[in-house]
């Protein structure tokens, strides 16, 4: 059977590469970021374009893929989440990116896929995103059985305690029983040390490592070089000598992770687009006096060490920080395929039973008819 997928807001291809590994054919994808589209094209599928979700229509996507409405297996995507993130100041109001959730719902209605998958930050289920989650349910709830799942990516083998919301909609005329994938690593999380143990140091000259794409040193000031030496694994700015603390940090008790260092024996905290600057979070290498590289951040997101990202350094950081860990796409895709296979097998069993029972009844009618003719 053919399992098809169209991906919206595809980014660098974390979710898409996972779905592809699960067995999905990536028919089309789009994103507004040209650098991310280049990354997707080189790693996941050439069937990708730069497009605006607020403009593109379901009819256009059907024409590009040759499908009819209702034939698509999965529509996937994660509308930009920065408007809902707890790191965004000023709350949820006034961010036009939030409205892209409604554009996603419009595409679901127009394509009418068997299943849709949407990923967002964990705040999407809480105060900052609840308005849009309710709108999504209102728009699609009559046609889809919608379930909302909060996950910690570390529970699925990602070396990072990244918390996210996964929304799955199953078209309610399919009689499809979907079971959300169970955690695989909840008893023992993969650590930073395990994930990075075979990755060599990046070249000191600032160039990319010849064997590992996107593995180069980020620039760091002399004062920050001095600061980072004082921070032990798993700690942050509170360990800095007072002379090296910023004035705001001397007074504030918030955000203790800034100027922080990762621990070898624990997963990383959430990787964001600012990971190459240890002043923005716990992004210093566990032992080296530097921030982690784009390659190391990508590995902590669950990408293969050879997965190449394109664009300038800022664009690459954004692609990695915004990505869905590929393993999440893989386990979701496998669960969806298993659900479809189970549904088909049940249907075939019912058809076989009905066919068998029908044959027995027909044979009994024939025998009875022969008996009446012989008596007459």
pLDDT digits (tens, 9 = 90+) for 265-324: 999 999 999 999 988 899 999 999 999 999 999 999 999 999 999 999 999 999 999 999
* Alpha helix stretches (DSSP H) within the chain: 14-22, 34-43, 58-65, 100-111, 127-140, 192-196, 222-229, 247-251, 294-300, 313-322, 326-375
Q: For residue 245, what pLDDT is reported?
A: 86
pLDDT band at 87, cuts 50/70/90?
very low
Examine the pLDDT at 357 and tell me if it is beyond 70: no
pLDDT value at 83 more than 80: no
> Which of the two residues, 246 and 211, has the higher pLDDT score?
211
* 163-171 and 115-121 strand pairing: antiparallel
Supply 94's token pair.
């006034």
Distance CA 315, CA 304 (A): 19
Catalytic residues: 81
Query: d(Cα 179, Cα 49) in Å, to the nearest integer?
Result: 32
Do 273 and 317 meet the contact criterion of CB atoms below 8 Å apart? yes
pLDDT value, residue 356: 72
**Please, what sign has the CA dihedral across residues 54, 38, 307, 207?**
negative
- What value does the mean pLDDT take over residues 342-365? 72
By DSSP bridging, strand 48-50 and strand 4-8 are unpaired
Q: How many CB atoms lie within 10 A of CB 161?
A: 15
CB 293 within 8 A of CB 278: no
Q: Which two tokens stand for residue 327?
A: 């393993």
Q: What is the pLDDT of residue 373?
A: 45
Is residue 258 within 8 Å of residue 280, measured between CB atoms? yes
CB 33 within 8 A of CB 84: no
Cβ atoms of 153 and 169 closer than 8 Å: no
* Cβ atoms 17, 36 nearer than 8 A: no
* 60 or 367, greater pLDDT: 60
Q: What is the pLDDT of residues 150-189, one digit of tens each?
A: 999 999 999 999 999 999 999 999 989 999 999 999 999 9
Q: What percent of the chain has pLDDT over 90?
A: 72
DSSP 144: E
Domains and CATH numbers, the chain: 4-188+325-349 (3.40.50.150), 192-322 (3.90.120.10)
Burial of 154 (0-12, 13-18, 19+ CB in 10 A): buried
Q: Is 63 a residue whose pLDDT tops 60?
A: yes
The burial of 242, by beta-carbon neighbours within 10 Å (0-12 exposed, 13-18 middle, 19 or more buried), is given as exposed
At residue 253, the pLDDT reads: 64
């Amino acid at each position: 059977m053919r399992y098809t997928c169209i991906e919206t807001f595809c980014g660098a291809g974390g979710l898409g590469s996972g779905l592809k590994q699960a067995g999905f054919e990536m028919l089309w994808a789009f994103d507004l970021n040209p650098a991310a589209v280049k990354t997707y094209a080189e790693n996941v599928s050439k069937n990708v374009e730069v497009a605006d979700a607020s403009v593109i229509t379901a009819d256009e996507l059907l024409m590009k893929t040759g499908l009819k409405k209702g034939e698509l297996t999965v529509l996937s995507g994660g509308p930009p989440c920065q408007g809902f993130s707890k790191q965004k100041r000023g709350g949820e109001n006034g961010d036009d990116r939030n409205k892209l959730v409604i554009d996603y719902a419009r595409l679901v209605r127009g394509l009418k896929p068997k299943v849709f998958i949407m990923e967002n930050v964990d705040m999407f289920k809480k105060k900052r995103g609840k308005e849009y989650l309710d709108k999504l349910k209102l728009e699609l709830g009559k046609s889809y059985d919608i379930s909302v799942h909060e996950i910690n990516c570390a529970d699925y083998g990602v070396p990072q305690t990244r918390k996210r919301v996964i929304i799955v909609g199953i078209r309610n005329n399919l009689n499809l029983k979907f079971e959300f994938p169970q955690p695989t690593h909840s008893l023992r999380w993969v650590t930073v040390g395990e994930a990075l143990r075979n990755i060599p140091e990046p070249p000191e000259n600032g160039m990319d490592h010849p064997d590992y794409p996107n593995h180069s040193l980020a620039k760091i000031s002399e004062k920050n070089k001095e600061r980072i030496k004082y921070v032990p694994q798993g700690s942050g700015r509170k360990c800095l000598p007072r002379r090296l603390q910023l004035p705001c940090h001397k007074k504030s008790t918030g955000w203790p992770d800034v100027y922080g260092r990762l621990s070898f024996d624990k997963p990383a905290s959430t990787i964001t687009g600012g990971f190459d600057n240890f002043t923005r979070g716990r992004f210093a290498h566990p032992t080296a006096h530097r921030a982690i590289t784009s390659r190391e951040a990508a590995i902590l997101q669950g990408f293969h060490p050879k997965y190449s990202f394109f664009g300038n350094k800022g664009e690459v950081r954004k692609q990695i920080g915004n990505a869905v860990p590929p393993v999440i796409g893989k386990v979701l895709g496998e669960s969806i395929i298993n659900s479809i296979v189970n549904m088909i097998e049940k249907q075939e069993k019912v058809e076989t039973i009905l066919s068998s029972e029908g044959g027995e009844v027909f044979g009994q009618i024939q025998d009875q008819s022969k008996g009446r003719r012989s008596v007459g």
